[in-house]
Amino acid sequence: MPLLLAAAPAELLVDRPLAQSVEQLQAAVNAAPEDQNARFALGVAQFCRAVEKIAGRLHEHGMLQTGVTDALPIFRMPLPPNPKPAEITAEKLDAILADFAADLVQAEQTLAGVNDPAVKLALRPALIQLDLNGAAPGGEMPAWQFFEELRNAPDEGRAAAEQFVIQFDLGDAYWLRGYSHLLCAVAEIMAAYDKTELMERTGHLLFANAQSPYKFLKRGPKVFEISPNVDVLDAIAFIHLWNFPLKDAEKMRSARRHLLATMDCSDASWKAIQAETDNDAEWIPNPQQDTVMPGIRITQEMIDAWRAFIADGRDILEGRRLVPFWRSADGRGVNFMKVFDDPRPFDLVLWVQGTAAAPYLEDGNLANSRTLEQLERLLQGRTFMFALWVN
C-alpha cells in the first residue's frame, strides 16, 4: 500500500484495467481525503469506467454499427460485431441506461469535491486501458491501440501515446462534472418512455439479437437498403415508432435538473478557465492560452457568446423564456420547463407538426434567436462541434 500511495494519482489511471484504477484511487482518497489530485483522478477513472461498462453491456447484446445507431446519443460507440449476442428487450435496455446514470452520478459526486484552483492532473488519455468488447488480451488494451485496431491503422506505437499529455485543472473538473450531468440527462430521457413497440418492431436496426415476435424482419428479404443493414421500410417504421407512452415522469424531471446542473458547471468551468495565468497543455483554453487541440483558438467573443447561449438555455429550462412556436401567428411559445416537469406521451411526428406542443403553449418572453445566430457567426457554423467540446 505505501508504494501505491506514493504513485502520482495520474499514474494510477494508466497501464491497468479501469476497475483497478478506481479501486486504487479510491484507496488513495480514503488515505488522504485532502488530496485534490487523487480525488480528481478518481473522478476521471469513475467517469471512464462508466463509459466502459455501458459499452461492454451494449456489445454484450450485439449493438450494431448502422446509420441508425450513429444518429443516437450514447449508442454512437465504435464497437465491433459480437458473434454471440445476448438477447435484449426494452426492459433490459432501460436497466443498462439506469446503471449508466448511477455510475455517472458517482463520478460527478467525486468530482464535486475538487475545488482547489491549484489542482492539476497530467492526464495521458491514450494510455487509459479500455475493455469495451472483451476482445483484448486479458480484457483490456490502451485506448490508442483499441482505436487503431478499429481503424485498421498502422501501429503508431506507445511513444506517441506517452507524448500526448493534457494538464487537467479545475476548469476541466467542472467540465467533466458537466458532461456527467449531460449524459445522465440523456440516459434518463431515454429511460422515461416505454420503448417496447420500437424494440419489437425495429430493434433489429440497433441490436443483433433484439427480442421480437416478427422473425421475418431479420430473416426475410430486404426491399431497398438505404445504408448497410438498414431497409427503407424499417427506417420509416423506426421514425413512425417514435411515439412513446410515458413510463416514468420523474425521470424527465430529474433530466431537467441534470441539464440545469450541466449549465451551472459550464459557468463554473469558464470562470475557472478565465482565471488561469499559465499555459500548459490546456484542454479548454482561455484566449491567452493554447489548447492541445491542433488549429483551434478561443477568443473572448466566443466565450461571451457561448455563455450567453447557456444563459438563454437556463432561462428556457426554468420557464423564464419560451421557445418560439414554429406554427404560431400570435407570438406564443413553448414552455420547456413544463415539457420536462409535466411530461406526456412523446410523438415525434406530432411535435414536428405542432399539435403535441399545444399543451405547453403560453404567452411570455421568447428566447432570442440572435444569441444563437451570433454564436454561429463566431464559430463559422461549427456550433455543434464546439458544444461537444466545451459542453
> Are 344 and 383 part of one and the same domain?
yes
Q: Please spell the DSSP secondary structure of 12-39, one letter per residue.
A: GGSSS-HHHHHHHHHHHHHH-TT-HHHH
Tally of domains in the chain: 2
What is the DSSP code (8-state) at residue 220?
Answer: S
> Are 264 and 384 part of one and the same domain?
no
* pTM reported for the whole predicted model: 0.92
> Are 7 and 51 part of one and the same domain?
yes
> Are 256 and 306 part of one and the same domain?
no
Contacts within 8 Å (CB) and 24+ apart, 73-76: 73/186, 74/100, 74/183, 74/186, 74/187, 74/190, 75/206
In the structure, how many helices (H) and strands (E) does the chain have?
17, 11
Residue 293 burial (C-beta neighbours within 10 Å; 0-12, 13-18, 19+)? middle
The residue segments making up the domain with residue 323 are: 300-390
Through-space distance between the first and last CA atoms of the chain, rounded to whole angstroms? 38
Which residues are paired to 366 by β-bridges? 322
For residue 310, being part of any structural domain is answered with yes
> Are 147 and 263 part of one and the same domain?
yes
> Are 266 and 369 part of one and the same domain?
no
User: Per-residue pLDDT for the chain (391 aa), expressed as one digit of tens each?
Assistant: 444 545 689 999 998 889 999 999 999 999 999 999 999 999 999 999 999 999 999 999 999 988 899 889 999 887 888 999 999 999 999 999 999 999 999 999 999 999 999 999 999 988 888 887 755 555 566 665 655 554 455 555 566 777 889 999 999 999 999 999 999 999 999 999 999 999 999 999 999 999 999 999 887 777 777 777 889 999 999 999 999 999 999 999 999 999 999 999 999 999 999 999 999 999 999 999 999 988 889 999 999 999 999 999 999 999 999 999 999 888 999 999 999 999 999 999 999 999 999 999 999 999 988 998 999 998 888 898 899 899 8
